[in-house]
């Protein structure tokens, strides 16, 4: 069995024109169009490149010989070609991007979902007001843990830790936003996640019943970015022991596009649109 945990730090990536146009050529046209609608392109494009790199390296398919699509709930999957080999059929994979990173988690023989959250202040709301708005997303027990965490920053860190855990589970089962988040309750491990190897001590209760067939890995990519990976039994395969936790590998841009090959012709206007969006916030700051 295999495990893959990759991360790309979009927040420190400043692409050249050549790099950006090449990256845009290496994703499917409809993905490029969709990403172009985002205010900031970095994270979603890095996520698609992570996924294509994974399919190339672990499933053995040339970059231009497969197609990725999304389920009605937004979960990515390999649409074509549909291979019959056991290695390709047992892989499950998932993406997340938020804050400064895009991350990918993949596992053989398990359902997998991944979520990354950055601990940030809630914008125009105070922390108590932000928590009031989000009341329905957590159980009373979870709120007691969040609000007893200490300082406001520590409370926010506990909030985003719980949020990443819930999102990782929802993404693993592929139900989307219609799932009632109060059905799942997390009992955090006494050992907090660190920058080191992931910990697997947090437990999940679903409809008030502890779920022994779900494992949750938690780690930090840096002091502000918390990652949760949900691992559940895949109905297509027989249960198998999990390998030791796999830490996230931080990829450089050259590693990210190592096996890449272009899928489309170069579109210079894509750089112009990108550079305008990147420059606009800086011009606004300079104007003030």
Tens digits of residue pLDDT in 224-266: 999 999 999 865 555 567 788 999 999 999 999 999 999 999 9
Q: What are the φ and ψ backbone dihedral angles of 7, each rounded to 5 degrees?
A: -140, 145
Count Cβ atoms below 10 Å from residue 87 Cβ, excluding itself: 12
CA distance 147 to 89: 43
Q: What are the φ and ψ backbone dihedral angles of 252, each rounded to 5 degrees?
A: -80, 170
**Range(s) of the chain covered by CATH 3.90.470.20:** 1-109+242-288, 117-233
Tell me the whole-structure pTM to 2 decimals: 0.90
CA distance 3 to 245: 8
| Per-residue model confidence (pLDDT) at position 285 | 32
CATH topology of domain 1-109+242-288: Ribosomal Protein L22; Chain A (3.90.470)
Please give the structure tokens belonging to residue 239: 């249960």
**Strand, helix or coil for residue 34:** helix
Average pLDDT (88-100) is 86
14-18, 75-79, 96-100: which range is least confident on average?
75-79
Reported as a single tens digit per residue, the pLDDT across 184-239 is 999 998 888 999 899 999 999 999 999 999 999 999 999 999 999 999 986 555 55
**Peptide bond between residue 81 and the one before it cis (omega within 30 degrees of 0):** yes
Please give the structure tokens belonging to residue 134: 């989000």
CA distance 186 to 159: 12
Is the distance from CB of 116 to CB of 97 less than 8 angstroms? yes
Under DSSP, the state recorded for 193 is -
Give 25's pLDDT tier (boundaries 50, 70, 90): very high
Chosen CATH of 117-233 out of 2.40.50.140, 3.90.470.20, 3.40.630.30, 1.10.3720.10: 3.90.470.20
CA distance 214 to 239: 12
């Amino acid at each position: 069995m295999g495990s893959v945990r990759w991360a790309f730090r979009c927040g420190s990536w400043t692409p050249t024109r050549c790099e950006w146009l090449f990256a845009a050529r290496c994703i499917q046209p409809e993905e490029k169009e969709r990403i172009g609608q985002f205010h900031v392109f970095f994270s979603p494009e890095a996520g698609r490149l992570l996924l294509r790199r994974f399919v190339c390296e672990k499933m053995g398919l040339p970059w231009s010989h497969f197609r990725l699509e999304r389920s009605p709930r937004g979960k990515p999957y390999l649409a074509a070609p549909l291979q019959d080999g056991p290695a390709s059929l047992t892989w499950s994979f998932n993406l997340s991007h938020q804050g400064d990173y895009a991350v990918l988690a993949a596992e053989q023989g398990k359902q997998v979902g991944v979520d990354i959250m950055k601990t940030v202040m809630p914008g125009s709301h105070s922390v108590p007001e932000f928590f009031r708005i989000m009341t329905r997303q957590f159980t009373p027990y979870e709120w007691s843990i969040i609000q007893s965490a200490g300082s406001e920053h520590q409370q926010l860190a506990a909030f985003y830790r719980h949020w990443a855990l819930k999102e990782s589970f929802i993404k693993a089962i592929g139900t989307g936003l219609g799932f009632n988040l109060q059905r799942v309750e997390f009992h955090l491990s006494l050992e907090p996640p660190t920058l080191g190897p992931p910990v697997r001590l947090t437990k999940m209760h679903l409809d008030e019943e502890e779920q022994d067939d779900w494992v949750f890995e938690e780690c930090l990519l840096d002091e502000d970015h918390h990652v949760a990976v949900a691992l559940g039994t895949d109905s297509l395969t027989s249960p198998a022991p999990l390998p030791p936790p796999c830490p996230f590998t931080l990829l450089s841009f050259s590693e990210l596009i190592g096996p890449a090959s272009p899928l489309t012709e170069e579109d210079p206007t894509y750089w112009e649109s990108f550079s305008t969006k990147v420059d606009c916030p800086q011009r606004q700051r300079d104007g003030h």
